[in-house]
């Protein structure tokens, strides 16, 4: 039996407590300001257009989401729009899993829990390459290559920026990982769903060449525009793979949602401002640092991944004061069991209130 979404379950729990007039807030999920989208014409809302996505949205994806990749020479059929990043990942996993009977799909830990469920649903077997906070979540490349060979990996999945640690792997490391995967005929899936949330200038680099047939890029309009409910993702891959992904996506989802696509095309100026998120991140990291909590300072994403200091009382205290969180081994191996995901992409007043509660009651 497949697990219910961890993040959505957390939100259900919060809603349940609020209905009973109890204070409850998520430590691990983002919360967003309400948005008003004006002057949107629904005249053609029931028209199904391009099965691979609207041309204008594909161009927007090239510019804003895939801008760090040199894909000017790529044609439209190297990119498809999907109904969310989850649908994109499932299509990639399923197409590759269908090619042979035994499929070990590697995941670099800590990781987004949904990877595991999607791999299992597609018929693959998840196996894990662990990184540790003690080593700043670095990927030691000789060990990674041994892991790929030993496990006979068909796919390696890396989120960059990492969810939940906020770690970013630089251009040189990514290039070497691409070379290792290509050498071992292992597909590399780079999930860049937080590509607009980069806090350090050194990670905003020159364009990387997109040329390996084993490289697949996943990204998310929803994450980068704070429009999660619109459910729109994007896949960049070689032409042959894109055709297979598109055929499967259409079979299970139909064409990408036309209303959602046009909402983003018409309101694309709502791309998130990194400066605002960086200021919120500083609030959280300054607090954690002041308490002596062990954590990796995020270089991107919405999240920090602190190690619980008050292990004996943290769970009971957080529950008592309405701080609901995702932690333990949900993000990969037991190596990360004492960590939890701390989301700093929230209303600033809400974030300050959370920190006040944590500080007053020693919840850290």
User: pLDDT tens digits for 81-128?
Assistant: 999 999 999 999 999 999 888 889 999 999 988 999 999 999 999 999
Residue with tokens 């490289």, as numbered in its chain: 215
Residue 155 pLDDT > 80: yes
Q: What is the pLDDT of residues 294-353, one digit of tens each?
A: 999 999 999 999 999 998 899 999 999 999 998 866 787 677 778 999 999 998 999 999
Phi/psi of residue 93, nearest 5 degrees: -60, -45
Which of the two residues, 73 and 84, has the higher pLDDT score? Answer: 84
Residue with tokens 């989850």, as numbered in its chain: 86
Mean pLDDT of all residues in 179-198? 94
pLDDT score recorded for residue 256: 86
Query: From residue 53, how far is each of 237, 250, 259 by CA, in Å?
Result: 15, 11, 11
Percent above pLDDT 70 for the chain: 87
pLDDT score recorded for residue 77: 64
DSSP string, 253-276: H-SPPHHHHHHHHHTGGG---HHH
State the chain's mean pLDDT as an integer. 86
DSSP bridge pairs for 189 = 157, 216
Residue 205 pLDDT > 70: no
Contact 331, 341 (CB under 8 A): yes
pLDDT score recorded for residue 208: 76
pLDDT score recorded for residue 159: 96
pLDDT score recorded for residue 29: 85
Mean pLDDT of all residues in 188-216? 84
Residue 35 pLDDT > 80: no
pLDDT score recorded for residue 41: 58
pLDDT score recorded for residue 43: 58
pLDDT score recorded for residue 74: 57
Which CATH number describes the domain made up of 55-268?
3.40.640.10
Break the chain into its structural domains and give their ranges: 6-30+273-361, 55-268
Q: What is the DSSP letter of 229?
A: G
Residue with tokens 């497949």, as numbered in its chain: 2
Lowest mean pLDDT of 34-48, 118-132, 160-174, 348-362, name the range. 34-48
Helices 85-97 and 239-253, axial angle in degrees (round to 10): 110
Rounded distance between C-alpha atoms, residue 76 and residue 53, angstroms: 9
pLDDT score recorded for residue 254: 84
- Return the CATH class of domain 6-30+273-361: alpha beta
Lowest mean pLDDT of 36-40, 100-104, 245-249, name the range. 36-40
Contact 268, 40 (CB under 8 A): no
Return the H-helix or E-strand segment holding 341: none
Residue 207 pLDDT > 80: no
């Amino acid at each position: 039996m497949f697990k219910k979404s961890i993040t959505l379950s957390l939100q259900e729990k919060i809603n349940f407590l609020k209905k009973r007039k109890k204070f409850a807030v998520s430590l691990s999920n983002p919360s967003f300001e309400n948005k008003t989208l004006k002057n949107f014409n629904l005249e053609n809302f029931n028209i199904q257009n391009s099965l691979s996505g609207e041309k204008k949205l594909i161009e927007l994806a090239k510019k804003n989401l895939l801008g760090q990749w040199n894909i000017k020479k790529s044609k439209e059929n190297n990119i498809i729009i999907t109904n969310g990043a989850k649908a994109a990942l499932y299509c990639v996993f399923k197409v590759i899993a269908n090619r042979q009977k035994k499929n070990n799909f590697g995941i670099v830990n800590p990781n987004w829990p949904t990877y595991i469920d999607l791999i299992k649903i597609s018929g693959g077997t998840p196996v894990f390459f662990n990184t540790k906070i003690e080593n700043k979540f670095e990927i030691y490349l000789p060990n990674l290559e041994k892991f790929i060979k030993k496990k006979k990996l068909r796919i390696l999945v890396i989120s960059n920026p990492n969810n939940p640690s906020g770690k970013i792997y630089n251009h040189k490391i990514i290039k070497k990982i691409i070379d290792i995967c290509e050498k071992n005929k292992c597909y590399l899936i780079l999930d860049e769903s937080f590509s607009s949330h980069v806090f350090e200038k050194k990670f905003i680099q020159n364009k990387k060449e997109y040329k390996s047939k084993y490289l697949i890029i996943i990204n998310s309009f929803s994450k980068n525009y704070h429009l999660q409910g619109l459910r729109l993702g994007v896949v960049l891959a070689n032409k042959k793979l894109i055709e297979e992904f598109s055929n499967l996506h259409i079979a299970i989802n139909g064409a990408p949602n036309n209303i959602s696509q046009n909402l983003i095309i018409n309101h694309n100026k709502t791309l998130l401002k990194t400066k605002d998120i960086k200021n919120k991140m500083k609030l959280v990291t300054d607090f954690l640092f002041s308490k002596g909590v062990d954590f990796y300072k995020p270089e991107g994403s919405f999240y920090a991944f602190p190690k619980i200091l008050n292990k004996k009382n943290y769970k009971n205290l957080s529950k008592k004061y309405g701080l609901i969180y995702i932690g333990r081994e949900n993000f990969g191996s037991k190596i990360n069991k004492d960590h939890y995901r701390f989301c700093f992409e929230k209303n600033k007043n809400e974030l300050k209130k959370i920190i006040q509660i944590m500080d007053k009651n020693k919840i850290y």
